[in-house]
Amino acid sequence: MNFRFRNKALDVSVPQVMGILNVTPDSFSDGGLFDRPDVALRHAESMIAEGASILDVGGESTRPGATPVSTQEELDRVLPVVRAIATSLDVIVSVDTSNPIVISEAANAGAHLINDVRALRREGALEAAVACGLPVCLMHMKGEPGVMQDQPIYDNVVDEVSDFLLRRVQDVMAAGIPKDQILLDPGFGFGKSLEHNYQLLNRLEQISALGFPVLTGLSRKRMIAAILNGDMSPEQRDGASAAAAVICAMKGARIVRAHDVKATWEALQVVRATLGEGHV
Ligand code: 8Y4
């Protein structure tokens, strides 16, 4: 089962890894603007060698309390990296953005996928996505970063996420994005309590049954840290993150977004061997 990304195709009957490539300043210890694309390119090469078929380039932090970034700053962070990877490496380049200008410019720079945690709900974002012709990942988020973790309430989190995603699918298809160019994501950690996140994980089949390839991101998130001993550093969460990736893939997710690509890719090979290609 192939999913088309511009001039590339990806077999999503096999679980795939999306490697996370942050280009926010806090992810660079010696982040001079000049060497950023170089540093990012080396990180990109190593994630591809470890098994990533997609790289997600993000220049805006969605962490609660993070300072909002200007369009120019987001463009300056993201475009050189997207351009460098798209021109020199054989990988699908995803751009993590909600900004219509960044959507258009990243497409011009060679990006293959728009990954928007706001599901193209920002003014102008849907129009920009339609105009650039790229596939989109629509993610569920309740509220906005900053307030989304303040006592989120659901009657039934799985039903509500599911209803939201289907309504967004209708809207983006009505605007002109083809059905076969849509990925769905339940948005782990985005406006959900620990209990909500694990209810969603336990019943992820319901999201997979919507008829679109599902992408999930749990890597190093609080829902992982919360079930481990005390204050585990981000890297110390990678074993549990890989276990969560396995659960997602067993419940039908086709793409898992992760920091530790090697551990995630290896864990997903167990899923592949268990289910067999095309038997999810
Ligand atoms: C440690 C490390 C703690 C990372 C928290 C985080 C998703 C996503 C993000 C996701 C899709 C993050 C851009 C949040 N999460 N895109 N983006 N799905 N499609 N937090 O789950 O990684 S950023």
Q: Give burial (CB, 10 Å; 0-12/13-18/19+) of 153.
A: exposed
Confirm if 103 and 120 have CB atoms less than 8 A apart: no
Name which residue sits closest to atom 6 of ligand 1, judged by CA.
221
Task: Give the whole-angstrom CA distance, residue 96 versus residue 57.
Answer: 6
The CB of 185 under 6 Å from ligand 1? The reply is yes
- The residue count of the chain comes to 280
DSSP state of 230: S
Residue 29 is predicted with a pLDDT of 45
pLDDT digits (tens, 9 = 90+) for 126-183: 999 999 999 999 999 998 888 877 788 999 999 999 999 999 999 999 999 999 999 9
Residue 31 is predicted with a pLDDT of 46
Establish if 280 belongs to a structural domain: no
The CB of 188 under 6 Å from ligand 1? The reply is yes
Establish if 198 belongs to a structural domain: yes
- 217 CA → ligand 1 middle, Å: 6
Name which residue sits closest to atom 14 of ligand 1, judged by CA.
62
Establish if 82 belongs to a structural domain: yes
Tokens at 18, concatenated:
């999306």
- 168 CA → ligand 1 middle, Å: 20
pLDDT, averaged in runs of 10, over the chain (280 residues):
96 97 67 69 97 95 81 95 97 98 98 98 98 98 83 94 98 98 98 97 98 98 94 95 98 98 98 77
Task: Give the whole-angstrom CA distance, residue 5 versus residue 25.
Answer: 28
Establish if 107 belongs to a structural domain: yes
Establish if 72 belongs to a structural domain: yes
Name which residue sits closest to atom 10 of ligand 1, judged by CA.
217
Please report, for residues 125, 162, 203, the alpha-carbon distance to residue 69 in angstroms, rounded to integers and kept in the order given: 16, 30, 35
- 131 CA → ligand 1 middle, Å: 26
241 contacts: CB under 8 Å, gap ≥ 6 = 218, 219, 220, 221, 224, 258, 259, 260, 263, 264
The CB of 221 under 6 Å from ligand 1? The reply is yes
Please report, for residues 100, 224, 226, 242, 250, the alpha-carbon distance to residue 230 in angstroms, rounded to integers and kept in the order given: 40, 11, 8, 19, 28
The CB of 105 under 6 Å from ligand 1? The reply is no
Q: List residues bridging with 138 in a β-sheet.
A: 116, 184
Which is nearest to 103 in space by CA: 73, 131, 65, 61?
Answer: 131
CA dihedral 165, 268, 225, 54 (to 10 degrees): -60
Q: Which structural domain range is residue 236 located in?
A: 2-274
Q: What is the CATH number of the domain that holds 112?
A: 3.20.20.20
Task: Give the whole-angstrom CA distance, residue 236 versus residue 6.
Answer: 36
Total domains in the fold of the chain: 1
Establish if 279 belongs to a structural domain: no
pTM of the model: 0.95
Establish if 146 belongs to a structural domain: yes
